[in-house]
């Protein structure tokens, strides 16, 4: 006879294996804009099906599954409303993650169909799924490129408060955000430190969509288009790189870090804001994202020791490793001999 522990183990594995069903349902709900349709009111499945061009019976099944996860609630048989959690799927929610989840369904899910290729070869599976590497695909498909930029903005909006809270940013000086997207994080830092100035650096077509004007920071922030592997804006007191290095191999990451070292002032600082993998078997989102980065682009999340090794190879030293109340941690790097 099976032991109770074995039975429990079997049930846990089956539940884990079924996780893709809920993820795919969530992708589709985001893509269809269900949360926008439920903003401020409940609706029947039939009405939602008419508005989304879907089959009412299948749609009801999907919404009921997500209601069981707390995304929606079936307020009466066949009628659904938003929960507080589900409200974050609304396009207009201040902490919206709709674009991130919808693009994950279109892009990540398709790439993961070829995860076995990445597992067997060590090469990212994205090119196998889409016929070209990830960054080239975004460049050649402007709609998906814009969606990716929006997804990165969504991550920064969710995480920026925890980052600004966790680190004692300088009260004066020049802050350079390398690979800063539309400037969402940099805007939060400059707003919290009104005597600082900033530089937003990213690919030219990315920085065209900066949010700095909306934040009233145009006069305090220079916008520079360029390449991570080219010359970076020099003379910064503090450099930021959020969710940049995880997309690159160790060799490329060292090249990027050396560029930062060359651009930094002698007493400057560099903050790597990344999902840092903790030791042991503790559950952490960085571990799932690490696998995803390997599958998607041949990148990876890293441990604190791995970041220390990369920084040392690039001629930098680790000052501190600072956790935040988000999934991100801050790896503070300094020039050798300059400890905080």
Point out the residues that are catalytic. Answer: 246
Helix/strand/coil for 318: strand
| SS3 at position 36 | helix
Q: Sort residue 180 into left (φ over 0), alpha (ψ -120 to 50) or beta.
A: alpha
Report CA Rg, the chain: 22
| CA end-to-end span of the chain | 61
Three-state secondary structure call for residue 159: helix
Task: Annotate 195-219 with b (16+ C-beta within 10 A) or e (fewer).
Answer: ebbbbbbbbeebbeebbbeebebee
Distance CA 46, CA 228 (A): 50
104 φ, ψ to 5°? -60, -40
Rounded-to-integer distance, Cα 113 and Cα 99, Å: 21
Interior/surface letters 107-134, b for 16+ CB within 10 angstroms, e for the rest: bbeebbebbebbeeeeebbbbbbbeeeb
Tokens of 122: 């060590």
Task: For the chain, give the number of residues.
Answer: 340
3-state secondary structure (DSSP) of residue 57: helix
DSSP characters for 92-137?
T-TT--HHHHHHIIIIIHHHHTTHHHHHHHSS-SHHHHHSS-HHHH
The label of the residue with tokens 């939060």 reads: 188
Identify whether the C-beta of residue 176 lies closer than 8 Å to the C-beta of residue 242.
no
Q: How far apart are CA 113 and CA 124, in angstroms?
A: 12
């Amino acid at each position: 006879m099976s032991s109770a522990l074995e039975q429990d183990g079997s049930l846990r594995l089956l539940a884990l294996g079924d996780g893709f069903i809920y993820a795919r349902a969530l992708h589709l709900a985001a893509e269809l804009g269900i949360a926008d349709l439920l903003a401020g009111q409940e609706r029947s499945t039939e009405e939602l099906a008419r508005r989304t061009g879907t089959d009412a019976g299948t749609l009801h099944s999907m919404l009921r599954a997500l209601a069981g996860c707390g995304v929606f609630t079936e307020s009466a048989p066949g009628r659904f409303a938003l929960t507080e959690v589900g409200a974050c799927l609304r396009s207009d929610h201040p902490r919206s993650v709709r674009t991130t989840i919808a693009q994950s369904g279109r892009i990540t899910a398709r790439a993961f169909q070829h995860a076995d290729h990445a597992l067997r070869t060590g090469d990212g599976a994205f090119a196998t799924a889409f016929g070209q590497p990830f960054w080239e695909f975004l460049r050649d498909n402007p709609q998906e490129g814009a969606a990716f930029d929006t997804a990165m903005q969504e991550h920064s909006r969710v995480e920026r408060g925890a980052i600004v809270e966790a680190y004692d940013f300088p009260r004066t000086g020049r802050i350079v955000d390398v690979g800063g997207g539309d400037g969402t994080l940099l805007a939060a830092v400059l707003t919290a430190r009104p005597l600082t100035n900033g530089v937003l650096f990213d690919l030219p077509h990315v920085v065209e969509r900066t949010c700095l004007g909306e934040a009233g920071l145009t006069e305090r922030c220079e916008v520079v288009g360029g390449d991570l592997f080219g010359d970076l804006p020099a003379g910064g007191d503090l450099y930021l790189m959020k969710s940049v290095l995880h997309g690159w191999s160790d060799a490329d990451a060292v090249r990027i870090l050396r560029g930062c070292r060359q651009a930094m002032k002698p007493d400057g600082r560099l903050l790597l804001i990344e999902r840092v993998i903790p030791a042991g078997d503790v559950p952490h989102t960085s571990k799932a994202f690490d696998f995803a980065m390997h599958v998607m682009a041949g990148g990876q999340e890293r441990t604190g020791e791995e970041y220390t090794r990369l920084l040392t190879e690039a001629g930098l030293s680790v000052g501190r490793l600072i956790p935040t109340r988000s999934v991100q941690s801050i790896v503070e790097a300094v020039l050798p001999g300059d400890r905080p």
